[in-house]
Amino acid sequence: MRALLSTVTGGPETLVIGELPEPTVAPGTVVVTVKACSINYPDTLMIVDLYQFKPARPFAPGGEIAGVVEAIGEGVSGFTIGDRVIGLCGNGGLTEKVAVAAFNCFKMPDSMSFEDGASLLMTYGTSIHALKDRGFMKEGDSVLVLGGAGGIGISAIELAKAFGGRVVAGVSSEGKAAIAREAGADDVVIYPHQPFDKDQSKAVAEMFKAAAGKDGFNIIYDTVGGDYSEPAVRSIAWEGKFLVVGFPAGIAKLPLNLTLLKSCDICGVFWGAFAARTPQRNHANIAQLFDLYAAGKIKPRISETFNLENAGQAIARLGDRAAIGKLVVQI
């Protein structure tokens, strides 16, 4: 079967169209004919061997898919051949067929397209876990979302609004500000590009503080890292939650005295491990996402679609932080 393959360590330009054996169904798995595969930040890391999991080459990137169940393994219940499903496969999604662990598969609502389905789990799954399980968000909370125009940032904006929060998006351009406002952000901070010296960092902190108001942000959702994290922490509320989600701008270094002064918590958000360790809690979160989707309160923003032949371009765009919303490959 056709696949986009990583055969050597390197950037998106090293990916090639090739062939992989068709997957066989094993106990506890389902084989899915892939209709759509979204691109996520781990895809940019895996091909350069910087992700925590390093699959043997040749492998196909793509960890989030939507498609149709073709075969069902021993011990699997709740699925029938022909079901429309979304699933997490770690890698292997940029292929025509992939085997997925049944506990990582979810039946799609009838109203959901394959493209939307392939764009839901990693972004909205991460954000609902972050806000509910790590940030303990409550109605009326003030939330700052760094990287508010990316797929995961948009999901955080929509969910924070659905949970009754006031949301400020941090973005790097006027164009991205418009996207964040469209997603529901109440206010937007357009920050300059890093690196920051001490004075620039202080200036960005003042921008965040002005947007937060006198009480600060109850939750800061950081999908960016780098030089943006410290100014954000300086705008946090007393006993606020700083959620560490991703580092496309680099791994941040924080002066820990700030956590003492604000009595705040720095909380790591590792949704994949949460889903594996507590699948029932994760399934409850995903069911809530389906309800919010049906109610029109959340919807993935798909900015571009690609075919398998040019899927490497999608990975490159995400790696260069040029993507707005979600990028989806149609198989």
Q: Which residues pair with 142 in a beta bridge?
A: 166
Is the CA virtual torsion 21, 27, 31, 36 positive or negative?
Answer: negative
- Grade residue 323 by pLDDT with cuts at 50, 70 and 90: confident
**Digit-coded pLDDT (tens) for 195-235:** 999 999 999 999 999 999 999 999 999 999 999 999 999 99
For the chain, the average pLDDT equals: 94
Q: Which residue has the higher pLDDT, 319 or 80?
A: 80
- Burial letters 75-108, b for 16+ CB under 10 A, else e: ebeebeeebbbbbbbbbbbbbbbbbbbbbbbbbb
Residue 319's pLDDT is 84
Residue 259's pLDDT is 93
**Digit-coded pLDDT (tens) for 155-193:** 999 999 999 999 999 999 999 999 999 999 999 999 999
Cβ–Cβ < 8 Å for 325, 154 = yes
Cβ–Cβ < 8 Å for 141, 165 = yes
Please give the domain boundaries of the chain with CATH numbers for all domains: 2-120+300-330 (3.90.180.10), 123-272 (3.40.50.720)
Tally of residues, the chain: 331
**Digit-coded pLDDT (tens) for 228-266:** 999 999 999 999 999 999 888 889 989 999 999 999 999
> Could you give the percent of the chain with pLDDT greater than 90?
88
Residue 41's pLDDT is 86
Residue 63's pLDDT is 94
Residue 294's pLDDT is 93
pTM score, whole prediction: 0.88
Asked whether the predicted pLDDT for residue 100 surpasses 90, the reply is: yes
- Grade residue 321 by pLDDT with cuts at 50, 70 and 90: confident
By DSSP bridging, strand 16-19 and strand 2-5 are antiparallel
**Digit-coded pLDDT (tens) for 41-78:** 889 999 999 887 899 999 999 999 999 999 999 999 99
**Digit-coded pLDDT (tens) for 18-38:** 999 999 999 999 999 999 999
Asked whether the predicted pLDDT for residue 285 surpasses 90, the reply is: yes
